[in-house]
């Protein structure tokens, strides 16, 4: 099977400071990968670089996604090609309704793929169906994007958007942070329902608990800008038990 | 640079020509105003009120003035066609400074309502209008005095007590001339006790010559009167507008004003509201969208003279390219104006490093039991929001439009009349997309 994404020797900086120091990571269609690691190891930087955040500069390496050079694409094209980031801190956008926001996103994607604009009726029907997947209140969908949403509502809204956009590669950046157990289950169930043999997921998390719901095939440990350990799901359990110090000791900075 | 001298000469030389077609009331006030103008001259560069708006230099152009009241043979219907459906308004026209009756007005006005040429009514209803005309602008600055000195016509709306006009009255002001042209126009709006009206003023220009208009409006709201006044400027880069709006509100009256500067050249809008009766409420707002070398200066004064009045103020600016703008808003709470509720908000977006915003919120309070707040910010589009939208596949230009549209929407949503609000949302969107060329609606421009 072809690789969905292949990250080779990726180096990246922010404000001149090198955060990623040679990442190598390959994900095949249908796989769930988890990236764990202590604070400041570069987990969020990796997700931001993959979606083309302008604050980060790639200084070395390449990323091949669906056989194309990902780093050449502007952020919106990466989205159209099926990369989705569930933000650690979803942004509030005052005055832009969820409906207008989603309609602009869906129609931009359709235009990119040469498809006609979605009719208002079809669009609203799709909104209703996908909303149900994460129990998102219809009132929230009529409000401004993330404005006045609680932490849990914001994360559910991320998964709702993921359901709307049907990505091929979903990156969940600490989607479990700030969630209570019930919200965590709803979010994880939403993610699982959206999974199929062609879509892949990259879960970035500190803790094992999200991985109880979203079962990874492969677990990586990111430390000091590099992947220092890769193993099966049992690695996450080991980290839960032993913490990160032994990783740090094995890999002095 | 002493351009006032030229105008003083013009006035002295053509005094008879100016006064001859005009009502006695206009000429009585003209006499007083001209003495004041002679003493004051045009605003100087060290005048704090005009510090960022060099008004004196506007008068350097050799403008034509139609003092002889030559009929320009303009047909409002040909110059202006309103292309927005469902905007069922009653149209009245001020072309240059002359009143023209609209063609679409089939409905009879309620009894006692006076709507039409200010000069004609000043002649026929001198006793009725004398207590109002120039009572507020009479103490105004040199531009107000200049306007009163040269004004020959304008529009009057008088609504007697208890009368409500449901239909929105749309006043279309237009500059139309083959030469560089100045026009000095006047609006006088008087609402009796509990009278109600909605007014939409559309300020257009319909040629490519340089133009300068001074517009002085005086509004009197008696006890319980309610007025919604919406103003949209859609002129062009060659146009200069010096507008002054004076409002006096009595007890429990309501005034809602929204002033939208959509396209323009040089604009200075002065808005002064005096709350002179318990329980009066005023809500004034403005939206400015500027680019190129455009300049817009909004100055407001809300004066609370009596207890238990509310005022609310919201002005938002979006400045692109090399545009410059000013917001200077003052809330003045007089002694005895207890239990005042007063709020002022000014938010500005500068989209380029060349755009300049001068913001000056001011609060003067002389009463001790009041609730007053003000805030002003200048910033750029939220980078995080832009990236968030891009990640969802929205192209950066579209994302910028969505954010600007949302920013502007807060002001437009204050408009209480659905058709006008929808129209403005549409016009603002077109403006951001660069699809709005000069004045929409003028057949001459199409």
Cβ atoms B267, B240 nearer than 8 A: yes
Does A15 map to a domain? yes
Question: DSSP assignment, residue B44?
Answer: P
If we measure between CA atoms, which residue out of A114, A110, A45, A122 comes closest to residue A79? A110
Whole-prediction pTM value?
0.90
CB pairs under 8 A between A and B: 78
Which three-class secondary structure state does DSSP give residue B266? strand
The DSSP bridge partners found for residue B186 are B154, B216
**A116-125: per-residue pLDDT in tens?**
999 999 999 9
Residue with tokens 């109002």: B132
| Whole-number Å distance between alpha carbons of A104 and A45 | 27
- What is the Cα–Cα distance from B340 to B331, expressed in whole angstroms? 11
Decide which of B252 and B89 is more confident: B252
Angle (CA) B179-B181-B184 rounded to 5° is: 160
Q: At what angle do helices B396-412 and B383-391 cross, to 10 degrees?
A: 120
Q: Tell me how crowded residue B302 is: count the other CB atoms within 10 A of its CB.
A: 25
Of B385, B396, B410, the CB nearest to A93: B385
Facing A95 at nearest CB: one of B384, B396, B409: B409
| Continuous segment of H or E residues that includes residue B76 | helix B76-79
Token pair 């799901």 in the structure block, residue:
A233
Q: Which of B393, B395, B402 sits opposite A96 (nearest CB)?
A: B402
Domains contained in chain A, number: 1
Of B392, B396, B406, the CB nearest to A95: B406
Which tens digits make up the pLDDT trace of B227-275?
999 999 999 899 999 999 999 999 999 999 999 999 999 999 999 999 9
pLDDT at B87 over 80: no
Phi, psi of A64 (to 5 degrees): -105, 120
pLDDT band at B446 (very low <50, low <70, confident <90, very high): very low
Cβ distance A76 to B390 less than 8 Å, yes or no, reads yes
Tell me the three state secondary structure of residue B82: coil
Phi, psi for residue B162 in degrees, rounded to 5: 75, 0
Helices A98-112/A120-133 angle, 10° precision:
110
How confident is the model over A140-191, as pLDDT tens digits? 878 999 999 998 899 999 999 999 999 999 999 999 888 888 889 988 999 9
- Using a CB-CB cut-off of 8 Å, the residues of chain B touching A53 are 387
**Strand ranges inside B306-370, DSSP E:** 310-319, 324-333, 341-350, 356-365
- Residue B413, chain A, CB below 8 Å: the answer is no
Which residues in chain A are contacts of B405 at CB distance < 8 A?
95-96
Average pLDDT over residues B14-34: 97
Mind telling me how many Å the CA of A8 is from chain B's nearest CA? Answer: 22
Cα separation of A8 and A26, whole Å? 8
So what's the pLDDT on residue A139?
A: 84
Pairing label, strands B341-350, B310-319: parallel
- The pLDDT of residue B438 is 47
CATH number at residue A171: 3.40.50.300
Distances (CA, A) of A90 to A62, A152, B402: 27, 11, 17
Which among B228, B268, B375 has a CA at the least distance from the CA of B313? Answer: B375
Residue A183: the pLDDT is: 85
Domain count, chain B: 1
Question: Distance (Å, rounded) from C-alpha A25 to C-alpha A5?
Answer: 8
- Environment class of residue B90 by beta-carbon count within 10 Å: exposed (0-12), middle (13-18) or buried (19+)? buried
d(CA A171, CA A161) in angstroms, rounded, equals 13
Domain that holds residue A214: 5-88+164-250
CB B276, CB B245: distance < 8 Å: no
B394, A91: Cβ pair inside 8 Å?
Answer: no
Say if A235 falls within a structural domain.
Answer: yes
The pLDDT of residue B444 is 35
Helix/strand/coil percentages in chain A, nearest 5: 40, 30, 30
Tell me what percent of the residues of chain A surpass a pLDDT of 70.
99
From CA A166, how far away is CA A69, in angstroms rounded? 21
In whole angstroms, what is the distance from residue A201 CA to residue A31 CA?
7
Q: How many CB atoms lie within 10 A of CB B397?
A: 10
Judged by CB atoms closer than 8 Å, whether chains meet at B402 and A101 is answered as yes
B chain contacts of residue A78, beta-carbon cutoff 8 Å: 391
What is d(CA A207, CA A218) in angstroms, rounded to the nearest whole number?
15
CA angle B315, B283, A147 (to 5 degrees): 60
User: How large is the C-alpha radius of gyration of chain A?
Assistant: 18
The alpha carbon of residue B88 and the mean position of all alpha carbons in its chain are separated, in whole angstroms, by 22
Tell me whether residues A75 and B390 touch, CB distance under 8 A: yes
Asked whether the predicted pLDDT for residue B164 surpasses 80, the reply is yes
Residue matched to tokens 């609209």: B102
pLDDT digits (tens, 9 = 90+) for B101-120: 876 667 889 999 999 999 99
Distance CA B386, CA B403 (A): 8
Instruction: For residue B410, give how far its alpha carbon lies from the nearest alpha carbon of chain A (Å).
Output: 7
Token pair 């669009």 is at which residue? A123
Domain range for residue B252?
3-445
**In this structure, is residue A109 part of a structural domain?**
no
Instruction: Please name the residue of chain A whose CA is at the shortest distance from the CA of residue B410.
Output: A95
Q: Per residue in A69-114, pLDDT tens?
A: 999 999 999 999 999 999 999 999 999 999 999 999 999 999 999 9
In a domain, A201, yes or no: yes
């Amino acid at each position: 099977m072809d690789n969905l994404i292949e990250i080779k020797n990726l180096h990246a900086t922010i404000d001149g400071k090198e955060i990623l120091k040679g990442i190598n990571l390959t994900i095949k269609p249908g796989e769930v990968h988890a990236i764990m690691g202590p604070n400041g190891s570069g987990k969020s930087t990796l997700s931001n670089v993959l979606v083309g955040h302008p604050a980060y500069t790639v200084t070395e390496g390449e990323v091949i996604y669906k056989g194309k050079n990902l780093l050449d694409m502007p952020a919106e094209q990466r989205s159209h090609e099926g990369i989705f980031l569930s933000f650690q801190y979803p942004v509030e956008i005052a005055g832009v309704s969820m409906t207008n926001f989603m309609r602009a996103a869906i129609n931009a994607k359709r235009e990119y793929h040469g498809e006609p604009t979605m009719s208002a009726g079809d669009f609203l029907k799709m909104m209703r169906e996908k909303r149900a997947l994460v129990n998102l209140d219809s009132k929230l969908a009529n409000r401004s994007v993330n404005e006045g949403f609680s932490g849990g509502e914001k994360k559910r809204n991320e998964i709702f958007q993921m359901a709307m956009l049907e990505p091929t590669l979903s990156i969940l950046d600490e989607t479990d942070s700030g969630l209570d157990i019930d919200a965590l289950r709803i979010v994880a169930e939403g993610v699982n329902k959206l999974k199929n043999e062609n879509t892949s997921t990259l879960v970035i998390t500190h803790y094992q608990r999200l991985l109880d719901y979203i079962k990874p095939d492969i677990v990586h440990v990111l430390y000091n800008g590099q992947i220092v350990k890769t193993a099966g799901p049992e690695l996450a359990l080991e980290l839960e038990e032993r913490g990160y110090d032994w990783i740090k000791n094995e890999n002095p900075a | 640079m002493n351009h006032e001298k030229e105008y003083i000469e013009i006035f002295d030389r053509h005094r008879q020509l100016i006064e001859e077609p005009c009502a006695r009331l206009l000429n009585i006030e003209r006499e007083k105003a001209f003495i004041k103008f002679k003493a004051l001259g045009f605003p100087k560069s060290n005048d704090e009120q005009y510090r960022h708006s060099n008004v004196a230099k506007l008068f350097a152009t050799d403008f034509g003035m139609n003092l002889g009241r030559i009929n320009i043979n303009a047909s409002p219907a040909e110059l202006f066609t309103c292309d927005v459906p469902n905007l069922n308004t009653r149209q009245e026209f001020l072309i240059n400074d002359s009143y023209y009756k609209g063609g679409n007005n089939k409905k009879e006005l309620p009894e006692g309502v006076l709507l039409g040429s200010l000069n004609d009514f000043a002649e026929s209803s001198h006793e009725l209008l004398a207590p109002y005309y120039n009572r507020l602008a009479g103490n105004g600055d040199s531009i107000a005095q200049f306007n009163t000195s040269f004004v020959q016509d304008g529009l009057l709306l008088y609504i007697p007590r208890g009368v409500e006009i449901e239909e929105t009255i749309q006043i279309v002001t237009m500059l139309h001339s083959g030469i560089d042209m100045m026009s000095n126009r006047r609006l006088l709006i008087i609402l009796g006790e509990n009278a109600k009206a909605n007014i939409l003023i559309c300020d257009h220009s319909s040629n490519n010559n340089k133009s300068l208009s001074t517009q002085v409006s005086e509004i009197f709201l008696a006890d319980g009167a309610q007025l919604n006044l919406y103003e949209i400027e859609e002129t062009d880069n060659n146009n200069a507008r010096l507008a002054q709006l004076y409002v006096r509100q009595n007890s429990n009256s309501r005034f809602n004003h929204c002033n939208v500067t959509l396209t323009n050249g040089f604009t200075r809008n002065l808005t002064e509201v005096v709350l002179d009766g318990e329980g009066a409420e005023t809500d004034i707002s403005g939206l400015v969208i500027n680019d190129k070398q455009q300049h817009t200066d909004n100055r407001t004064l809300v004066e609370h003279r009596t207890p238990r009045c509310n005022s609310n103020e919201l002005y938002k600016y979006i400045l692109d390219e090399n545009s410059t703008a000013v917001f200077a808003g003052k809330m003045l709470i007089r002694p005895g104006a207890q239990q005042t509720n007063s709020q002022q908000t000014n938010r500005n977006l500068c989209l380029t490093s060349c755009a300049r915003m001068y913001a000056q919120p001011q609060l003067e309070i002389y009463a001790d039991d009041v609730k007053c707040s003000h805030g002003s910010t200048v910033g750029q589009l939220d980078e995080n929001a832009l990236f968030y939208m891009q990640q969802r596949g929205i192209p950066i230009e579209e994302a910028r439009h969505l954010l600007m549209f949302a920013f502007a929407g807060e002001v437009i949503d204050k408009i209480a009349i659905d058709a006008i609000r929808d129209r403005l949302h549409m016009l603002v969107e077109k403006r951001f997309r660069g699809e709005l060329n000069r004045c929409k609606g003028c057949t001459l421009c199409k």
